[in-house]
Amino acid sequence: MSQFENETIQKIYDGMVAIENDAVLSAVDTALSDGLNVLDVIDVLRQGLKVVGDDFDKMIRFLPELILAADLMQEAMKKIEPELEKQDITEGPSATIVLANIQGDIHDIGRNILGAVLKAAGFTVYDLGHDMKATAIIDKAIAYDADLIGLSSLLTTSLPFAEEVIKQLGDRDLRDKFKVVMGGGAVTPEYCEEVGADAYGKDAGSAVNVLQGLL
Ligand code: B12
């Protein structure tokens, strides 16, 4: 059964769910040459990858499949990123942001995409990488004179470390210096409100507006 109106988008989704590299990569080529919206292509890849993750959670699929699906997503991103860089989605203000996955979390695909989209939107992005401690994130934000701190968390077990960033900013009398935005599967708008983050970003596309709204 088709979920998507566009046949190529459907192929990307089906291929990602089935972890069929050739099918996905050739459909991504078609999508790009047909001029489909790059953010839509990224989003359908994400939706397919989420199905693999959900199956992993239900113990229908296992870690090797999760790794293969993640590798496929990254292969697809290698094709998409140059297109993303070519796009000029600059509208409204931009600023300097440091991005990191918080301590314990190595899921960096979403953070990489976010960084690429923000760059295309004119932001200066310092990507600090994954598994970053709160203290180091704040130190780098100071060093780069950032306006924003973006924290990505896909693991519920790592969430306390996101909260730790807010706490340490308060302890160091820096809370007003940086706007803190959080995203990733483990984060919800309610969580952001509870811990006192300035904003929540559902995906890379909407993050641009969310961040600009904070500036
Ligand atoms: C790929 C993947 C992996 C890969 C990661 C490879 C890599 N280099 O990143 C590998 C195989 C290594 C992996 C490992 C593990 N994983 Co994993 N993984 C996933 C999976 C399937 C997809 C994540 C992904 O890349 N999605 C695609 C990107 C594009 O989407 P995204 O990350 O959501 O990012 C978008 C938005 O969220 C947003 N965003 C993200 N961050 C931010 C930040 C800001 C500031 C903003 C504004 C927006 C924003 O923008 C992004 C682009 O649109 C998820 C399933 C899921 N539902 O997410 C599980 C999942 C996250 N993993 C899970 C688990 C349990 C693990 C392991 C513990 C498994 C194990 N037993 O070893 C390890 C943990 C490793 C660690 N210490 O971090 C669980 C987490 C459960 C939980 N609630 O804590 C999930 C949810 C699977 C599941 N349903 O059980 N994983």
The two structure tokens encoding residue 136: 């180091």
Q: Is the distance from CB of 176 to CB of 147 less than 8 angstroms?
A: no
Question: Where exactly does CATH 3.40.50.280 map onto the chain?
Answer: 96-214
CATH architecture of 7-86: Orthogonal Bundle (1.10)
- Quick check: CB of 130 below 6 Å from ligand 1? no
What are the residue ranges of CATH 1.10.1240.10 in the chain?
A: 7-86
For ligand 1, atom 14, which residue shows the shortest CA distance?
A: 107
Look over the chain and give the mean of its residue pLDDT values, rounded to a whole number. Answer: 94
Please tell me the distance between residue 29's alpha carbon and the centre of ligand 1 in angstroms. 25
Predicted pLDDT of residue 88 = 67
Q: What parts of the chain have a pLDDT lower than 70?
A: 1, 88-91
Q: pLDDT value at position 168?
A: 98
- Ligand 1 pocket residue status of 203, Cβ below 6 Å: yes
Ligand 1 midpoint to CA 161 (Å): 16
Q: Which tokens hold the place of 138? A: 């704040």
Would you say domain 96-214 falls under CATH 1.20.1090.10?
A: no
